[in-house]
Structure 1
Amino acid sequence: MRKIWICGAKGQIGQAINEIIDKLEFKVLDTDIDDLDITDTDEVLRFGEMNRPDIIINCAGLTNIEECENDISKAYKVNALGARNLSIIARKLEAKLVHISTDDVFDGKSDQPYNEFDETRPQTAYGKSKLAGEQYVKEFTYKHFIIRSTWVYGLGNNFINDLLEKVNKGETLAIASDQFGSPTSAKELARFILHLIDTNEYGTYHATNKGVCSRYEFAHEILKLTGKEAQMKAVPTHLSDFSKVRPAYCVLDNFIMSMTPVYTFPSWKESLKEYFKERGLYNEK
């Protein structure tokens, strides 16, 4: 039985992996911030050598954009040095490493989807620290899968939950109409990850649900699928209720996946409907 160590197991992707993984096929080692400090090199090495996982999945990270801007040192410590430490033990154990990254490694100023070979130009502390983590993974390991995604939602803090909370309070919503991305299901990412670890197709992947929408269109679809009603207006980012520090254009091209047919993602609307049905929030009219 292979061992999988999931760092950041309480996050959206960590929970999604635990939800669908076959526990008869894998022994799962879950850790989160209260169990293990990935920024502590010795602690990471001790845990790795004691448990000797075959696969390490790094879902851990400081993802709050504003917190990263306010504490740049902490952002790099978690997102860069944490990734470095996991990479060191992965190489020592000859384990495969899956590292979750982000579209924020790009500047968000394009009008065309970013592929894996486009130049990275992060503009935020979050994006810069995540790119530094990617570079450590490439430096210290050779059996790695770096997965960049965008607008991820699942169990935990995300745009959907924040939006519905405001709707339930009867608040008027101001949603950015000038931000574009591909809403991506954490569960679909989990399926992709579990498929990928059985291959030797190492490298960097863009992994998002198919299709593109504005943040406003995303919010409109959320209300439609849940049958909820709210006053909602389309506004520029600087006037919006959410995502004021996000890049304007977050669209990723799953280019490598199109050349190496390891997996095919469904449309974002299809996965969003599945998410609401599973959570008992789908309202079929």
Structure 2
Amino acid sequence: MKIMITGSNGQVGCNLVRLLSNTEHDVFASDRYTLDITDARQVMAAVRDYRPDVIINAAAYTAVDKAENDIELAFAINREGPKFLAQAAQDVNAVILHISTDYVFAGNKEGTYFESDETDPHTVYGKSKLAGELEVAAKCDKHIILRTAWVFGEYGSNNFVKTMLRLAPTKSSLRVVDDQFGGPTYAADIATALIEIATQIIEQGNRDFGIYHFSGLPHVTWAQFADVIFDKAQEQFLLLSKPDVNAITTDEYPTHAKRPANSRLDTQKITQVFGIQASDWQAALCHLNDYLV
């Protein structure tokens, strides 16, 4: 396969490049410095020149709070970029795989969110990501939209696991939100799922295009997630003592953008269609030393 990756320096993008580096696949990896996805002409020129079988869009504006005031840039990256990539994919008869988010939902449903549930984003970030979904679906017939949540991994500097590991050695206790529920998702598992989907589409002829949910199980709160992180860190001798996790409410930890109370995504569809199991986030915490590099 010829695979074009955007956002190659992000959490998922880095893993895509790593996992594909020793394969027979031809990979064109780009970041914001080598390909500006908000520039329609640049995108079309790059895609027409490379002519990929698959475009994996791992580029996104993900600063949820900052987006509330940075509306134009958030929509440029999360809506216009995917639109231009999808148009270019359609032009060269490529498949586009696009990463989206739980923030497209209001977060007030009881139980898990299915792909068919009504979207109702309450943040600029969520609205811009939903707009990107709609553009991808409208502009390219052969599309996969992969919604995920609570992404963490070894790459990058801003994810919950790294933050907890940074704070733990200097704190005897930490206040962590305990009324938001979701599925922590290991970035490498997202990358693996995207590669498997691309392989099944290009090499095996799977044509089940559309929206899929992929995130981790079991579902937990942020406080519960933190507690497991600290347990794993102690088991791996990275913490001498475990800080107390003091559960607080969302109201006690105000943020500029409203977080969804319920980010639990149902992952049955991706298992049924592609045989891909939910991310095992607890297994991904068994090598925490890699997160400290």
Q: TM-score by structure 2 length?
A: 0.89
1:210 to 212, 217, 238: 217
1:249-285 deviation line (CA, Å, top 9, x unaligned): 1000013124325212353322333x526x277xxxx
Task: Report the CA distance shift for 1:252/1:102 in structure 2 as closer, same or farther (over 3 A).
Answer: same
Q: Which amino acid aligns with 2:209?
A: Y
2:270 to 257, 261, 265: 257
- Deviating beyond 4 angstroms after TM superposition, the runs of 4 or more aligned structure 1 residues are 241-244
What is the alpha-carbon distance in structure 1 between the residues aligned to residue 279 and residue 185 of structure 2? Answer: 10
Structure 2 residue aligned with 1:245 = 258
Structure 2 residue aligned with 1:196 = 197
- CA apart distance, 1:242: 8.0
What is the alpha-carbon distance in structure 2 between the residues aligned to residue 232 and residue 211 of structure 1? Answer: 19
Structure 2 residue aligned with 1:127 = 126
Structure 2 residue aligned with 1:109 = 108
Percent of aligned positions that are identical = 35
- CA apart distance, 1:78: 0.7
Contact 1:173 1:241 in 2 (8 A): no
Matches within 5 A, 1:11-160: 11-21=10-20, 23-154=22-153, 155-156=155-156, 157-160=158-161
Contact 1:57 1:99 in 2 (8 A): yes
Task: Report the CA distance shift for 1:161/1:266 in structure 2 as closer, same or farther (over 3 A).
Answer: closer
SS at match of 1:66: helix
Structure 1 window deviating more from structure 2 (69-78 vs 80-89): it is: 69-78
Contact 1:238 1:244 in 2 (8 A): no
1:223-242 deviation line (CA, Å, top 9, x unaligned): 11011322431111232388
Q: Which amino acid aligns with 2:138?
A: E
> Does 2:281 correspond to 1:268?
yes
- CA apart distance, 1:129: 0.5
SS at match of 2:217: coil
Contact 2:103 2:121 in 1 (8 A): yes
1:146-176 deviation line (CA, Å, top 9, x unaligned): 0000001111121111222222343742100
Q: Which amino acid aligns with 1:129?
A: S
Q: TM-score by structure 1 length?
A: 0.92
Please, which runs of 5 or more residues in structure 1 have no aligned partner?
none
1:119-152 deviation line (CA, Å, top 9, x unaligned): 0111111011000000000101111110000001
SS at match of 1:205: strand
What is the alpha-carbon distance in structure 2 between the residues aligned to residue 259 and residue 243 of structure 1? Answer: 38
Q: Which amino acid aligns with 1:203?
A: G
Contact 2:67 2:124 in 1 (8 A): yes
Contact 1:175 1:242 in 2 (8 A): no
CA RMSD of aligned residues (A): 1.9
Please, which runs of 5 or more residues in structure 2 have no aligned partner?
201-205
Task: Report the CA distance shift for 1:113/1:231 in structure 2 as closer, same or farther (over 3 A).
Answer: same
Contact 1:105 1:121 in 2 (8 A): yes
What is the alpha-carbon distance in structure 1 between the residues aligned to residue 90 and residue 212 of structure 2? Answer: 20
- CA apart distance, 1:210: 2.1
